[in-house]
Structure 1
Amino acid sequence: MIIAPTRLALIRAGIVVAVVAVLAVETLSLFDALHRASVAVLWLLGLGFAVVALRRARPAWRPFWRDLGRLERSMVVALGGFFLADLVVALVAPPNNFDSQTYHLPKIEHWAAHGNVDFYPTIADRQLAMAPGAEYLLLHLRLLTGGDALYNLVQLAAGVGGALIASRITAQLGGARRAQLVAALVFGTAPMVLLEATSTQTDLVVALWVGAVATLVLDELHRRTPWPAALLIAAAAGLTLLTKATGLLAAGPLVAVWCVAQVRRGAVRGVLCGLAVVAGMALLSGPYLWRVQTTYDHPLGPGHLRDSISMQRHDPAAVLVNALRITETALQTPLGPVGSGAIKGVAGLLGVDPSDRDITYWGATYPYRSWPPDEDRVSFPIQGALVLLGAAVLLFRRGGPRLYAGVFWFAVLAYVVTVKWQPWGNRLILFLLLLGAPLAALWVDALLANRRRVVSWTMTGVLAVGALAGAAAVSVGWPRRLVGQDNIFTTPELEQRFVRRPGWQQDYTTAAAAMRAAGAHRIGLLQGYNTWEYPWWVLLPDRDFVSLQSLQPDMPAAPIDSVDAVLCIDPPKGCAFYLPPSWPGGTAGTVTWAVRPR
């Protein structure tokens, strides 16, 4: 019997759509044909297949609603309300995530301008070395619509999909309907989920693919996997790698468990399953990894970028301190990092500096305040605590969920061993939150069914408090809020784009006006590592932007005499080093410009 067939159909459809989108990008890129016409033809064909598929799918929504109890209906209404509010935010607010201004979105503009996804000279090597899976999906929207108005919908779809996957995994682990709804609620009301669901970050997308691997693998543990199902698992694993390599810390063990289960049904079959996963990863991620390897001599990018994220110490003391810091930051309440003192004390006893660069992101110091709700750092104390408690209880309980709980804890261990603590690390563990939500739900559901009213009502109250935290994130979360100062309805679009750095807006708009007045078409960029490049593409559409700096060994930067003008985002003295003294220009705050004399 197929468990939750409608949800399974949606998961399969999402994987197929993403695979087609990725293969289309890589194939069209070979011919410099990434343009609106070619992509539009692809999606017209896909729309026809979708219409046929939808005619066959007729979920019974009315009986589902009629059979729900009061608490279950409350959970459905809460989740629906939150995601509906997120939909409003996603459609009204322009993309304004900090990282997106620097590297997520500029590379999409370069791809659209060049008609391919080949690497190009830039000082912002994160535009090239960071996995592009989510941006490939955004590229389709960019080419079809000509802008970024629909960009936020990709992460929103991933958030909704993650809630559906959490509920289906719960069903696969033996959870009844209420437990399935609790799993969706635990994941879907986490403040970080609701804030990222309206952004152009990538963490919900990778969580979606990791969750897809998990639910597909659970289907195949007790049978000989048919090849269509094996290909879907391979595709989900490949999409995980292409979106963010940290997702493999969970997807890898899940695939290994599946392959072992297949080996028990035949050694050859197990080997073939493993080869299918490798092939899926190679097909979807191979072209990108090859570009990174040939450019930086390493498939994970330049050394400084790898070292800024990955742990350089793996001794037990350093790993324990890293785990404690990550846990404290994720579970932090509005009272602040109250547990950081104890963690510092433990670190001192172990002889570990809690801000040691070998275990801490460059330039960061521990502790860091992760509340109030901000998409880059917000904690999820209720949801996180429920996941950890549920996973701990079920790990030692005989029965079906024990193996799954073991895989979850293995993924947690792999994460704290390999990834440094960082102030914005809460968003990086969303895939662990999704995998852990079913374990929390199974434990919570047992308490909700407890005959002692004080136990069941207490747990109901805990879920309500978690939902209130989600409500706070949706309503006043930063940098896209529904109510209060700088909300999305009263703040002009351009101001929303610069809400992270409002002082830069006038600098950028003044310099952009100077470029238009000068008639500059090919514009050279001189930037810092964290400079916002994307606003130039928005303020100066239909211009060619090239970098006058390059961190790519075999890709020289454009010469300054090949451009009509230069935009330098740096203190004026730094810009003066690069700009020809004979070129007239000006300065507005952090931006200096110069125009080639005619």
Structure 2
Amino acid sequence: MILLIPLAMILATASCYVALYKDSEQSFRRSLITASILVFFFIAVSTELLGLLNAVNRFGIALSWLLFDAALAATWIRIKKAHRVTHRSLGQRWLSGIRRFYQSVGPLTVFMLGVLSAITLCVAVVAIPNNQDSLSYHLSRLGYWAQQGNVAHYASHIERSISFSPFSEYVHLHTFLLSGSVHYFQLLQWGCLAGILLLVSMIVRLFSTSAAALRIALCFAATLPIVVLESMTTQNDLVVAFFLVATAFFVFDYLQNKQQTSLYLIALCCAAGMFTKGTFLFYALPFGGYLIIRMIGQPAMRKHLLGFVAAGVVLTLALNTPFWYRTYVLFGSPVGTISNGNQNDLQRPADYVSSVSKHVFLHLGFVSPGNRYNDFLHTQLKNLHAAMGIPLDRPGLGMPFKMNKLNFNEDFAHNFFGIWLILAGIPLLWCARLQRAANWYAALTLLSFLTFCFFISYQTYGSRLHIAFFLLAAPVVGIAYAAVLPAFLSRLLPVVLWLAALPFALLSASHPLLSTRWFFEKIFPTVNNALHLNMRIDAANLNLKQESVLHATPGRLFWGDHWAGLQGLFERANALNPQKIGFAFTEASFDFAYQFLLRKPGREFAHVMVGNPSRVLENPVFQPDLIISEKNMGNGFDYNGQSYRLDWQSDDRWLYVSVN
């Protein structure tokens, strides 16, 4: 059944190609991006509709895809007949376009991107998803949705699972119910990165015909450490970045080519982007404002303005309102309350300068002998704040600031080379003689970052929230450096970026293709001591020494060094053969990991004794056979008229069983 998804992509791409783009530049890439947006929108809408019918199950999802594929097939047959296109001629056109793209990029760049993509694809398919946020809330939702047959909110200790936008998880829900496997989850982010690279190449083409610009832009985007690491996870930052970069492309595509199709694709991207992550709004706002101003100023485009705005508002509200309403009912806010601490409390201009500077300095840190480089930068940042008369860590402006060194975790890795290339590239824009449209694109990209910094405070994991900015900046970096660098350096730069990215692809802290245990036990200590890097590689650095995903067990991937102490919990729980299991968790508990290791046909899970507003959704007659708790509840307690006693305890986990 999982093949229904690629079948839909092929049919949609073929139909878009023939009906919309066969005579356009970059026709195959445009068709593939448009088809992806349409398929994504179908997933979002169909999931909500199936939820209303309580039909979120394998049969309901499969039937919806069969009907969708049948409609796409019928559409393709009509279009093919109307345009007198054969499968052979279509295939030849696509192959011709691929060959032209290969020639413009060059074999070396194709090789580098191919190696990087192959490594990350292997990890994405082989590894069990084990990102901390994914285990807590991204993937934990799926089991409860499938269990209840809809996507309504449920009682949960983990507020993020019922208040954070769910689009990425809707895609995972479809792949899981169609295949019964978790090994397709991480392909979403990997596929979105592939789509982003196509979009980057298309944006470069809008402003430049330089092959060097294309090579640099693609390698810059594909080798960002946080991007490489996230492409192997089930987070959603690359998914929202796909919709953001697509929005930016279609804005400038419409302004240059006046194709109305681009306007309505922007509306679809806005609806889906907001349904993926709220940060979409901050990055997209400057591009949307620029487009509307340009449309108002030109009579030929003004006639499309009302329809475009109406489509954007209607689609965004239609797609997002059901989820927002469900969240509002529980929390009194359509976006919940758990992210309130991430909002900036700006009281004067200096607070905004503080926010921007900390967001930038997040990426500037690196390893150095005696940590002198980081100490120097940290001192300059403190001096800046002292000159403005505010503390570096003023309450209301985010988490306490910390300079990064070198991190291989998909939550904390930063983009050292990327930020320096952007900062050094800003003055290059003045002498690169770019097209006017390219300068506007560069200005809007910078403004999108400044808008984000206005609303969102500094966070130690903020690097992944900056992914959209770095990917939006990739075409500008490519065009600017290609315009000023000699030919040799323009070819060398992508190679340097590729070499710097390979360790992140191979040695991810959470799911490495090569064993990080070997590296950090045999190789790194010598380097660390010889250069006085002062990097901690002991147990305090969570799960730094990992086995290869080719050999590690799911339990080891989930809990790392803590797995040895937890095996007894799962062995005991499964030995009791419960039909109903209750969870008493914290906000950071690995809900999905428990479900994965305890899942059996007919077994039911539910959160119990919930302390947040979702407690009103607890089933008052649910009496679990056992309760797994990450909170110490003593030797026993009562729940829903049933008594429970402590049966097992280890490593801050407690197992309580019902007393008959």
- The TM-score, its normalising length taken from structure 2, stands at 0.83
Written as runs of structure 1 = structure 2, the 5 A alignment for 1:487-566 is 487-499=548-560, 502-503=561-562, 505-542=563-600, 543-548=603-608, 549-552=610-613, 555-559=616-620, 562-566=623-627
What's 2:334 paired with? 299
What's 1:270 paired with? 305
| Structure 1, gaps ≥5 residues long | 451-455
Written as runs of structure 1 = structure 2, the 5 A alignment for 1:325-344 is 325-335=358-368, 337-338=374-375, 339-344=377-382
Alpha-carbon distance change, 487 to 463 in structure 1, aligned in 2, over 3 angstroms: same
Worse-matched range after superposition: 96-105 or 278-287:
278-287
1:481 to 508, 512, 525: 512
- Secondary structure of 1:59's counterpart equals helix
The amino acid across from 2:507 in the alignment is V
The amino acid across from 1:513 in the alignment is E
Worse-matched range after superposition: 433-442 or 405-414:
405-414
User: Does the 8 Å contact 1:231/1:280 carry over to 2?
Assistant: no
1:138 to 162, 172, 187: 172
CA shift, 1:467, in A, is 1.3
User: Does the 8 Å contact 1:190/1:470 carry over to 2?
Assistant: yes
CA shift, 1:558, in A, is 4.1
CA shift, 1:347, in A, is 1.5
What's 2:291 paired with? 258
Distance (whole Å) between structure 1 residues aligned to residue 636 and residue 405 of structure 2: 39
The amino acid across from 2:596 in the alignment is V
Distance (whole Å) between structure 1 residues aligned to residue 289 and residue 227 of structure 2: 28
Worse-matched range after superposition: 49-58 or 216-225:
49-58
Written as runs of structure 1 = structure 2, the 5 A alignment for 1:177-576 is 177-222=211-256, 224-226=258-260, 228-263=261-296, 264-265=298-299, 267-302=302-337, 305-335=338-368, 337-338=374-375, 339-361=377-399, 365-394=400-429, 399-448=436-485, 450=486, 456-484=487-515, 485=517, 486-499=547-560, 502-503=561-562, 505-542=563-600, 543-548=603-608, 549-552=610-613, 555-559=616-620, 562-571=623-632, 573=634
What's 2:542 paired with? none
Written as runs of structure 1 = structure 2, the 5 A alignment for 1:122-137 is 122-137=156-171
- Secondary structure of 2:95's counterpart equals coil
What's 1:5 paired with? 27
What's 1:453 paired with? none
Alpha-carbon distance change, 584 to 123 in structure 1, aligned in 2, over 3 angstroms: closer
Q: Deviations over 1:375-429 (max 9, x none)?
A: 1111112222223433554378562211111211210111111111111111111
CA shift, 1:47, in A, is 4.7
What's 1:36 paired with? 58
What's 2:42 paired with? 20
The amino acid across from 2:276 in the alignment is T
- The TM-score, its normalising length taken from structure 1, stands at 0.91
What's 1:105 paired with? 139
Q: How many residues align?
A: 580
User: Does the 8 Å contact 2:127/2:549 carry over to 1?
Assistant: yes
| Structure 2, gaps ≥5 residues long | 1-22, 81-85, 518-546
CA shift, 1:141, in A, is 0.8
Alpha-carbon distance change, 420 to 146 in structure 1, aligned in 2, over 3 angstroms: same
Alpha-carbon distance change, 145 to 62 in structure 1, aligned in 2, over 3 angstroms: closer
Distance (whole Å) between structure 2 residues aligned to residue 357 and residue 578 of structure 1: 41
User: Does the 8 Å contact 2:128/2:557 carry over to 1?
Assistant: yes
Worse-matched range after superposition: 537-546 or 351-360:
351-360
Distance (whole Å) between structure 2 residues aligned to residue 546 and residue 432 of structure 1: 39
Worse-matched range after superposition: 216-225 or 467-476:
216-225
CA shift, 1:84, in A, is 0.9
Alpha-carbon distance change, 414 to 66 in structure 1, aligned in 2, over 3 angstroms: closer
What's 1:595 paired with? 657
Q: Deviations over 1:447-495 (max 9, x none)?
A: 34x3xxxxx4445444332211211101112212121331112322331
Distance (whole Å) between structure 2 residues aligned to residue 418 and residue 175 of structure 1: 36
User: Does the 8 Å contact 1:391/1:436 carry over to 2?
Assistant: no
Distance (whole Å) between structure 2 residues aligned to residue 554 and residue 124 of structure 1: 11
